[in-house]
Chain A
């Protein structure tokens, strides 16, 4: 089944304890990205990657890191989480057909993170 998977689905942690949220897609998509969703603010892009070893900042990158060592995986790293990073996080991927109108984005199931 073609899908985007994320782990963990739920995570409660404490301020300053490094964590990684994994994201994997099995559709051979070039483009992957991370979004966070907050009440009243909607979905905002954190980081994106156009291909292996190519990443760039989105709208709200502060406090996050990413890496893209393999095409299928795009982990989100919080080196020192803070309470304002409590949010619902989504990973997404698309074929990246040269920014064309065919480019449909597929989303993972989400990771609910609480930082105490």
Chain B
């Protein structure tokens, strides 16, 4: 059974700092990995999707990497801003079984002005 873990559960940084969020998964047989952002009480916004054959994806100040063999992904946020404050979730689409995403519990990020 696929399990996804995100460390740390919460992170507080000063504005302008570069930071890394971590995601690990137990079963490397995945189709892809998605990073989402969730603002309090709101829906999930897809940030980046990394296909299983890819090593990284970039969008603006965000860079996500994937090491499928070791079951790890990182989300790098450059020059953090207060508007980046949110909960970041990673989810993997696992091969076999139902078509579902298995989510981590998220990292709550606070960027202080």
Contact = CB atoms under 8 A, between A and B. Distances in A.
B103 A108 contact: no
B8 to A, nearest CB: 16
B10 to A, nearest CB: 14
Chain A contact residues (Cβ within 8 angstroms of B): what range? 20 to 34
A43 interface: yes
Interface stretch (A16-24, A76-84, A95-103): A95-103
Given A33-B100, A48-B99, A107 B46 contact: yes
A109 B43 contact: yes
Contact of B43 (A90, A101, A105): A90
A86 to B, nearest CB: 14
B52 interface: yes
Interface residues of B, number: 26
A43 B32 CA distance: 18
A90 B32 contact: no
Contacts of B99: 31, 33, 48, 50, 94, 96, 99, 103
B98 interface: yes
A100 B31 CA distance: 6
B63 interface: no
Contacts of B43: 90, 107-110
Interface of A: 31, 33, 40, 42-43, 45, 48, 50, 56, 58-59, 88, 90, 92, 94, 96, 99-110, 112
